[in-house]
């Protein structure tokens, strides 16, 4: 059973340059094992009750929840990237769908890379 937090980040790439990193929440893929975290608290000298209380606050996401969240984040990053292209004056209205979706149109393009936790 994995015990660690899953961290999420995706670069926002506009016209081949990384313009920023979109970082969002950490989560667990499975409910935490209290005994594992209790032993960690003892091993590292943490206040056991405070540590377990903090672990209980970490969200546990199913694959479906993660997929839905990534779908939302992908759309948000597309909006951010499109705004960046418009502000830079490189997005040509006539080429919008090709530029934004396939990267084959004239003008600027952007790419979005989001993690997949399972196949």
Question: Quick check: is 51 in a domain?
Answer: no
Question: Quick check: is 38 in a domain?
Answer: no
| Total Cβ atoms within 10 A of residue 82 | 17
Q: Report the number of distinct structural domains present in the chain.
A: 1
Give the residue numbers spanning the domain of 12.
6-29+62-112
Question: Quick check: is 49 in a domain?
Answer: no
Looking at residue 105, its pLDDT comes to 37
Residues making up the chain, counted from first to last: 119
Looking at residue 88, its pLDDT comes to 66
Q: Among 1, 60, 57, which residue's Cα sits nearest to residue 28?
A: 60
Looking at residue 23, its pLDDT comes to 79
Question: Quick check: is 39 in a domain?
Answer: no
CA–CA distance, 26 with 5 (Å, rounded to integer): 6
* Residue found under tokens 């490189």: 90
* Residue found under tokens 């995706």: 10
Question: Quick check: is 41 in a domain?
Answer: no
Question: Quick check: is 20 in a domain?
Answer: yes
Extract the residue ranges of the chain whose pLDDT is less than 50.
1, 93-119
For residue 7, give the H/E element and its range: strand 6-14
Question: Quick check: is 36 in a domain?
Answer: no
Looking at residue 50, its pLDDT comes to 96
């Amino acid at each position: 059973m994995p015990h660690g937090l899953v961290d999420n980040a995706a670069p926002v790439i506009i016209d081949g340059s990384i313009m920023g990193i979109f970082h969002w929440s950490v989560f667990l893929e499975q409910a935490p094992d209290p005994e594992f975290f209790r032993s960690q608290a003892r091993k590292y000298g943490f206040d056991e009750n405070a540590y377990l209380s903090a672990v209980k606050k970490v969200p546990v996401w199913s694959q479906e929840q993660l997929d839905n969240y990534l779908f939302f984040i992908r759309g948000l990053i597309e909006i951010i990237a499109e705004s960046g292209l418009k502000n830079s004056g490189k997005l040509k209205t006539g080429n919008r769908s090709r530029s934004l979706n396939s990267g084959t149109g004239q003008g600027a393009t952007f790419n979005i890379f989001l993690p997949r936790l399972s196949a």
